[in-house]
Amino acid sequence: MDNAATLDEFERSLATVLRLLADRDTVGDVARRSGFDLPPASWSLLEHLDTRGALRVSDIAACHGVDISSVTPRLKRLEAAGLVTRERVPTDARAFLISITKEGIRALESVHAARRDILQAAVEGIKPEDLAITATVLSQVARRVATEPVMIGPGH
Alpha-carbon distance of 126 to 118, in angstroms, equals 15
Residue 122 identity (one-letter amino acid): A
Q: Does any domain span residue 78?
A: yes
> Is 153 inside any structural domain?
no
Cα distance between the two ends of the chain: 20
Parallel, antiparallel or unpaired: strands 92-100 and 84-89: antiparallel
Q: Mean pLDDT of residues grouped by 10 in the chain (156 residues)?
A: 87 92 91 90 90 91 86 92 92 89 96 94 94 94 77 48
Residue 103 maps to a domain = yes
On whether residue 22 sits in a domain, the answer given is: no
Residue 80 lies in a domain: yes
Instruction: Please report whether residue 1 resides in a domain.
Output: no
pLDDT for 1: 60
Q: In what order do the strands lie in the sheet with 84-89?
A: 55-56, 92-100, 84-89
In a domain, residue 84? The reply is yes
Q: Which domain holds residue 121?
A: 36-147
Number of domains in the chain: 1
Q: Is the dihedral of CA 146, 149, 150, 155 positive or negative?
A: negative
Residue 15, in any domain of the structure: no
- DSSP label at 126? S
User: The CATH number of the domain where 50 resides is what?
Assistant: 1.10.10.10
pLDDT value at residue 149: 55
Q: 36-49, pLDDT tens digit by residue?
A: 988 888 888 899 89
Of the candidates 4, 10, 9, the one whose C-alpha atom is nearest the C-alpha of residue 145 is 10
The pLDDT, as a whole number, for residue 83 is 97
Which residues contact residue 10 at a Cβ distance below 8 angstroms, ignoring those fewer than 6 apart? none
Q: In 3D, which of 111, 93, 108, 109 has the Cα closest to residue 34?
A: 111
pTM: 0.79
pLDDT for the residue numbered 146: 78
CA–CA separation, 79 vs 98, rounded Å? 9
Q: What is the dihedral of CA 26, 32, 34, 38, to 10 degrees?
A: 70
